[in-house]
Structure 1
Amino acid sequence: ESTNVNGHEKSKTWKILSFVVALPGVAVCMLNVFLKQQHHSHEQPEFVPYSHLRIRSKRFPWGDGNKSFFHNSHLNALPDGYEGHE
């Protein structure tokens, strides 16, 4: 019966730690992300055609073969520049 009491005390300790440490930690992280997003520039980065970036040794097996799977047309440049900006 003493192991049951000990187990109950351990679960109570973890429950308290979850509410006192984990939840405030998550809240602080969410606040940090929110504040950094407020100061983040939403402008497109300048395109610099470095030869070692955006190397395509073979085509991607989806779409037109030139865009990565998680391609973002606002932030990810293609080898010849951003989409829609000639």
Structure 2
Amino acid sequence: MSSGTHGKEGSAPMWKALGPHLPCGAPGVGVSTLDVFLTSHHRQEERPESIAYPHLRIRIKPFVGDGNRTLSHNPHAHILPPGHDE
């Protein structure tokens, strides 16, 4: 039962069915990772315009710190209510 199956036969039939497909998936994951790594350095995306919509970024309680930035704030990707961090 600890393997995630709840039948009497166990997980052997599942692994027999998945076994031939696992070696085919690993190169695909590797090629996709390489593609993302090589193309991500060449693109320089522009920041979207900061539009102050009234229904976005509603603060009921302030965040820890200055009130706007979370602990995982990324100044390049996240837009604050007054606009972008510079």
TM-score by structure 1 length?
0.59
CA RMSD of aligned residues (A): 2.7
Unaligned runs of 5+ in 1: 1-6
1:30 equivalent in structure 2: 33
2:51 equivalent in structure 1: 48
The structure that is helix-richer by fraction is 1
The number of equivalent residue pairs is 72
Higher-Rg structure is: 1
Greater relative contact order (Cα < 8 A, sep 6+): 1
Unaligned runs of 5+ in 2: 1-11
Q: Helix, strand or coil for the counterpart of 2:79?
A: coil
Deviations 1:5-35, CA, capped at 9 Å, x for gaps: xx8xx78x83x643x3132121132134235
Q: Helix, strand or coil for the counterpart of 1:72?
A: coil
Separation of aligned partners in 1, 2:39 and 2:72:
22
1:68 equivalent in structure 2: 70
Amino acid at match of 2:74: N
